[in-house]
Amino acid sequence: DTEVTQTPKHLVMGMTNKKSLKCEQHMGHRAMYWYKQKAKKPPELMFVYSYEKLSINESVPSRFSPECPNSSLLNLHLHALQPEDSALYLCASSVRQNQPQHFGDGTRLSIL
């Protein structure tokens, strides 16, 4: 069982909907990450938070809005997504930004 918990496991939404993905860890890690993984492709980094502050934004479109309200929780707010945004969204955490990352099982997102 993974120690990084992502909810929901599956999400289907229309292009006009607003939804959020949630990621939690209780390992005391202070760095958290969002990745996007398209089918049969490797994960691609989207955002990095270090000590609850946004550290890296890989030029992600503004329809994806990350939020780190505390050291255990990372959200990804979604609005006006496109069909090409359908993917597996993975969350990861690490003790600090230069330590090994632990991944959750992901949220599989489908945009209608």
Partner 1 sequence: KQEVTQIPAALSVPEGENLVLNCSFTDSAIYNLQWFRQDPGKGLTSLLLIQSSQREQTSGRLNASLDKSSGRSTLYIAASQPGDSATYLCAPWEYGNKLVFGAGTILRVKS
* Residue 91 to residue 33: CA distance in whole angstroms: 6
| Minimum CB distance to partner 1 smaller for 7 or for 15 | 7
- Please state the closest distance from residue 80 (CB atom) to partner 1, in A: 27
- Please state the closest distance from residue 17 (CB atom) to partner 1, in A: 23
| Minimum CB distance to partner 1 smaller for 64 or for 89 | 89
* Whether 34 contacts 57, CB under 8 Å: no
* Residue 94 to residue 71: CA distance in whole angstroms: 11
* Residue 53 to residue 80: CA distance in whole angstroms: 25
Site of interaction with partner 1 (CB under 8 A)? 2, 4, 6, 31, 41-45, 48, 55-56, 88, 90, 92, 94, 97-106, 108
